[in-house]
Structure 1
Amino acid sequence: MVSYQNNISSIDNNADADIPVAQYVRMSTEHQRYSTENQQLAIAEYAKRHGMRIVRTYADAGKSGLRIDGRQELQQLLEDVQKSDIEYRAILVYDVSRWGRFPDPDEAAMYEQTCKRNGIQVIYCAEQFSNDGSLQSTIIKNIKRSMAAEYSRELSVKVFAGQTTLIKKGYRQGGSPGYGLRRQLIDENHNIKGMLKRGEHKSIQTDRILLVPGPPEEIETVNFIYRLFLNDGMPERDIANLLNNQKIISETGRPWTRAVVHQILTNEKYIGNNVFNRVSFKLKMRLEKNDPSKWVRKDGAFEAIVPIETFRQVQAVIEKRSKHLDDSHMLEILKAILARHGALSAIIIDEEDDAPSSMTYRNRFGTLLRAYSLIGFHPRRDYAYLEINRTLRKRYPDLISEITSNIEKRGGWVTSNPDNGLFTVNGELTISLVIARCKLGQNGRNRWIIRLDSSLKPDMTIVVRMAICNSTIFDYYILPLTDFSPETLPFKEFNTFTLDVYRVDTLELFYQLTSREALQEVA
C-alpha cells in the first residue's frame, strides 16, 4: 500500500491532521472486486489509516472507463475542482483503472492534471507507487495507464470473439428485430421463456435470443413490399408513401420512409440469415462501416419470412441499379440531377432513385463541394438545410405528442399555448422544445444549429439534438432558465463540464420529475 507521507506531502506534513478528501469510484460490468461498495470500503480504510475524512463521493456506476462522456460524476468532479471554494484537498481513487481505461493514456493524465493544477491531488489507494510527481512514480503510473488501455483492447477482442461464436450458433446479438420479426428469449437448454417487447433486454447471462416471425399481418406487409418492388417496379419512396396512405403502422410507429423500406428489402434476416459486424464501434472510438469480407454470418439461423429466391431477385435489381460507377459516370449523373433541379444538395441527391447516395459522392470525392466543383456547380451556400428544417418542423408536433403522452402515463398533465409554442406541465412548469439540426463542421466534427427565443423565458428548455442524418435523435439537453444563456449552448459534441451535466440520452429523468402520484384524502 502507498505510504501516506509520500502521497500527500504536498497537502499536510502532519499525519494526524483531519484532512477533508473526496472519493471517486467507478464500476462498469466487470468483476465483483470492482464493485463501488468494495472500492469504498478500501478507500475508507485508507482514509482512516492516514487521518483523512471523506466529505464527498463521486460514483459512476455501470459506466465504461473508455470515454468520459456518460460519466457524469467524473465530469462533475472535474468541474468542482476548478471552483475556488472546494471543500476537499485530495481525491482518493481505488486504482488507476478506476480513473479510466482510456485508449489514449494521455487523456487520463489530462484529467488528473486538471485536478493537480487546481491544487487537488489524486491518490490511488491500492497502487504500489507514490503519486508524488517523482520520476519513478510517473513512469510506473504511465505504465499502469497503458496496461489499463491494453486491458480494454484485449477485452474488446475477447468480447468480439464471444459474440462471433454466438452469431455462428444462430443467436441474435443486439438491435431491434425489425418489422415483421420478434425476439424470442430462450434459456441455456433452449426452453422458450417468452417474447421480448420493444426496449426490453435479457437479464440472465446464460439466456439467448432468437429471431422468430412476427404477427401474420406484418409478415404479409413485408412480402407486399417485395412484390411492389419486384413485380410492379415501384421504388422504395413510392412504397413508403403507399404504406403511409394505407395507414399501416411501422415498427417504431413513425411514418414509413425510403430508408426503412430499403432496409427491409436488403437485410438478410428476412431470409433467416444471421449477419453481424456490418459496422463496428470498438473501444467506443469511431463508428466504422466494415467491408463485407469482415462480416460474421450464419445462414439459415432463423425461420425465413421472405422466399429466398424472391430476396435474391430483389438484390439483383438493387445491385444492377447501384453497380459500381467510375468517377466520370458518377459526375455525369450529378450533372443530370443538376439539370433537372437547377441546384444540388444532399437531400436532392438522396431522393434520386437511380443515382448514388450523397454519402457515396462524399466517400469518392472527399466532399460534396468538391464533386460539385468538378461539374462546374459552385453554390454560394448549401441550401439542403431548408429541406431538413422543413422535415424537422413536421416532426415537432410528433415530439410534443410523445412527451405529452409519457407525462400523462405518469399521472401528470400538459397544456399548450398556441401563441408562443410553450407547453405547461402540471400547471406549474413552462417548457420550450427546440429541435437542433446537425451539420458537419469544417473540422469534420458534428455541430448543432440551436436558436432560442430569449423573450419567452421558459422555466426549462428541452433541446433535441439530431444525429448527422437529421432523421434520428442523437441526445437531449434539459436546460433550466437560470443556468444557461444563448451564448452558452451545446453546439459541440463535447461541451464544457458545466453544460454537459444537463445532457441525457433519454427523457426518462424528465418524465420522472414531472410524475404525479394520487394521494388519498385524510379526513
Structure 2
Amino acid sequence: MVPSSPQESIKRVLAAEYVRMSTEHQKYSLDNQSEYIKEYSLRNNITIIHTYNDAGKSGLNISGRPGLKALLDDVINKKITISAILVYDVSRFGRFQDADEAGHYSHLLRKNGVKIIYCAEPFSEEHPEMFMLGLSFSRHGAASYSRNLSEKVFLGQVNLIKKGYHQGGIAGYGLRRLLIDEHHVPKGILEFGQRKSIQTDRIILSPGPLEEINIVNKIFDMFNLEGKPEIVIATELNRTNVFAENGNKWTRGKIHQILTNEKYIGNSIYNKTSFKLKQRHVNNPEDEWVRFNGAYEPIISIDKFDLAQEIIASRMVIFTDDELLEKLSILLIKRGRLSGIIIDEEELLPSSSTYRSRFGSLLRVYSLIGYNPRQDYTYLETNKVLKGVHSSVIETIIENIYKSNGWVSDSPTEGILNINDEFTLSVNLARCQRLSGNSLRWKIRFNHLSVPDISIAIRMDSLNKSPIDYYIFPSIDEVYNHLSLKEKNTFGLELYNFNTLNPFYHLVRRTTFIEKIKR
C-alpha cells in the first residue's frame, strides 16, 4: 500500500503524468512509476488525461528526451489543458547538473499555470518554505547521484583497462574483438555490431586476418621508408582496391589514425578525451591518461611505431597567421589558383581545415592574400564526401533493419526506400554552412515530388565530415519542403531530434509470432 501523502488537500484537477527511465534500476521502470502515480492520483482527486514518457533516456539534460520536450511544448503552446504534472520523484524529472536548469523548466510550467507534483517526495507546496528547501535538496541529490554514478563507472572502466580489457569502440583495421570468459578462455570473435551478453565475459583485442596485418605493416613501411604522406598512402591503397574497415575507402585520417594509435603495438590507452555527464568534450592532458602497456598482442614492431612518431613530430610546426598566409601566397603563385583540394594536396602546407579553423573560412583567407576565386572547388570536394557519407548511412540503416527482422526493397521513386512493404523512407544529408557571423545553419530540402512516409534528415558537423544528430519527420506532421535548422531550434523542431537512429530501428523491428506468445 502506498503511504498517505501530505498533498491530500488538492482538489480534483486535470493532470499529465511524466515518467522517465534510464537503465539504472528496476524500481524506476515506467510501469512501476506509472502505477505509483496512478494510486497517488486516485487518493488526491487528480484525473490523469495525458501521459508523456522517455524510455531509456538520461536525465542529465533535455537533449534526446522527446517526451519532456513534447510536454513543455504542449503546455507552453496551450495544446493541452492541465493544471498539474505528476512525476514519481525529483530525479525522474531530471538529474540536471545545474539546478538552475531544472528551475528554469519548472518556472516555464508554473508561468503557464501548471505545477509539478513529485508524488514520492515527502514535501508539498502547502508549506512553501519546506517545499523549496526539500526541492533544493532533492535536486542536489539527483545531480550528485549522477556525478557519483559517473565516477563509479569511470573507476570501473579504469580498473578493467588496467587488467588489459578493451573498453568500447571498434577494434580498428587489422585487429579484432575477442570475447573471453571469466577464466580468460576464448569464446570467439565478435563481429561488427555484436555485443557481449554475459556480465562476467570480457573483451580483448587480438590480431585480425593476416592480409590486414600485412597492410598495416605496409602502411608503416610506406610512411617510414618511402617517405609517403598519409594522403598518398590512402590514394595508392584505394587505387589497388585495398579497402579499409567494412569495405570503406581509405582516407588521410584513417591512415594517420593507424600511424598514431598505440593499440597496434599492444598498448591500451583510456581517458584521452572525456565527455562526463554529457557536458562537453575535453582533451585530457597525457598525465591523466590511463595506460596499460602490453595489454594485447602487437601486430607491428615498436621500432616501426616509434620511427613513425618521430617523423610526425618533426613536421608538427605551429605557424603564425602571417606565415600561413605567406605559404598560401607562394602556393597561389605556383599553381595559379587555389581550392580546398589544391591546399590539401600540397605536402608542405597545413590542411585546408587548418586555414578554416584559424581564419573562419577559405574565402576569408583568399581575401587576405588578394585572391578572388571564380569558383571554390572545396564545394565539389565536400559534395564527394557527403555522397560517401550518405551511401554509408544508407548501408547502415539497411543492415540494422535486417538485424531487426525487417526488410528493404526499392521504390519506383529514386531515393526512396520501401520498408517492410509497409511504409516508405527517404534519407537526406544537411550540409553545415557557416554564416558571416560564424553561426551555423543546416538547410534541409525534402523530396516534394513523392512524399515518403518518414523522412530522416542528418545534420553534418561543421567540417561536413561526420553526422552529429538526426531529425526523424513523419509525413503526417506535414513538415515543410525546406527547413533551415540552427544550432538551437524551437521546441517544435527539437521534438523530432535524436542523437541516434535507435528510435527508428525500434519502430521497424518485427516481432515473431513465437516472441509475441512468450510475452
Instruction: Please tell me the TM-score bracket, short chain as reference.
Output: 0.7 to 0.9
* Secondary structure, counterpart of 1:434 in structure 2: strand
The alignment's TM-score, normalised by the length of structure 2, stands at: 0.85
Partner of 2:186: 192
Which shifted more, 42-51 or 177-186? Answer: 42-51
Quickly say closer, same or farther: Cα 1:350–1:447, change in 2 above 3 A: farther
How far apart are residue 295 of structure 1 and its match? 1.9
Gaps of 5+ in 1: none
The structural deviation recorded for 1:401 is: 5.8
In structure 2, what is the Cα distance between the partners aligned to 1:37 and 1:235?
58
Contact 1:411/1:515 (8 A) holds in 2: no
**For residues 95 and 466 of structure 1, what CA distance do their matches in structure 2 show?**
37
8 Å contact from structure 2 (residues 447, 481) kept in 1 = no
- 8 Å Cα contact 1:349/1:358 also seen in 2: yes
Identify which of 34, 39, 62 aligns with 1:68.
62
What residue is the counterpart of 1:34 in the other structure?
A: 28
Structure 2: segments with no counterpart, 5+ residues: 514-519
CA distance in 1, matches of 2:406, 2:100: 45
Residue in 2 that maps onto 1:415: 411
2:261 is equivalent to residue 258 of structure 1? no
Equivalent runs, 1:315-330 vs 2, <5 Å: 315-325=309-319, 329-330=323-324
Deviation readout 1:243-275 (Å, 9 max, x if unpaired): 222222321322111111111111110001111
Letter in 1 for 2:211: E
Deviations 1:338-389 (A, max 9, x none): 44456666665444443334555566x5745799389545779987444313
Which of 451, 471, 475 is the aligned partner of 1:477? 471
> For 1:162-195, what per-residue CA distance to the aligned partner results, in whole angstroms no more than 9, with x for missing partners?
3222222222111111011111222333233332
Secondary structure of the structure 2 residue equivalent to 1:81: helix
Which among 36, 44, 50 is matched to residue 38 of structure 2? 44
Q: Give yes or no for the alignment of 1:90 onto 2:84.
A: yes
- Cα 1:150–1:439, aligned 2, differ >3 Å: closer, same or farther? farther
- Determine if the alignment matches structure 1 residue 158 to structure 2 residue 161: no
Work out the percentage of aligned pairs sharing the same amino acid: 46
State yes or no: 1:4 paired with 2:11: no
Alignment match of 2:305 (pick from 285, 300, 311): 311
Mark the CA change 1:37 to 1:406 in structure 2 (over 3 Å): closer, same or farther: closer
Task: Report the CA distance shift for 1:502/1:43 in structure 2 as closer, same or farther (over 3 A).
Answer: same
Q: How does 1:84-483 map to 2 (within 5 A)?
A: 84=78, 86=80, 88-131=82-125, 134-325=128-319, 329-340=323-334, 349-358=343-352, 360=354, 365=358, 367=360, 372=365, 376-377=369-370, 384-393=378-387, 395-396=389-390, 399=393, 410-417=406-413, 421-422=415-416, 429=423, 431-440=425-434, 446-452=440-446, 454=448, 457-483=451-477
* Rounded Cα–Cα distance in structure 1 between residues aligned with 2:224 and 2:99: 53
Task: Give the 3 Å change call, closer, same or farther, for CA 344–3 of structure 1 in structure 2.
Answer: farther
**1:309 shift after superposition:** 0.4
For residues 137 and 73 of structure 1, the distance between their equivalents in structure 2, rounded to whole angstroms, comes to 26
Q: Distance in 2 between matches of 1:411 and 1:432?
A: 15
Name the amino acid aligned to 1:278.
K
Q: Deviations over 1:426-446 (max 9, x none)?
A: 777554432111245567665
CA distance in 1, matches of 2:145, 2:395: 45
* Deviation readout 1:57-114 (Å, 9 max, x if unpaired): 3232322111112222212222232354526432111211111111221211222223
Q: Please, what is the CA RMSD of the aligned residues?
A: 3.5
Structure 1 distance, partners of 2:401, 2:23, is: 32
Q: Deviations over 1:377-420 (max 9, x none)?
A: 577998744431343245545655665666677334213445xx
Q: Match of 1:489, SS?
A: strand
| CA 1:415–1:243: 2 relative to 1, 3 Å | same
Equivalences, count: 507
Could you tell me how far apart the structure 1 residues matched to 2:152 and 2:385 are? 43
1:172 is paired with a residue whose SS is: coil
Q: What SS does the aligned partner of 1:389 have?
A: helix
Q: Return the offset for 1:201.
A: 2.4
Q: TM-score, length-normalised on structure 1? A: 0.84
> Which whole-Å CA distance do the structure 1 matches of 2:246 and 2:126 have between them?
55
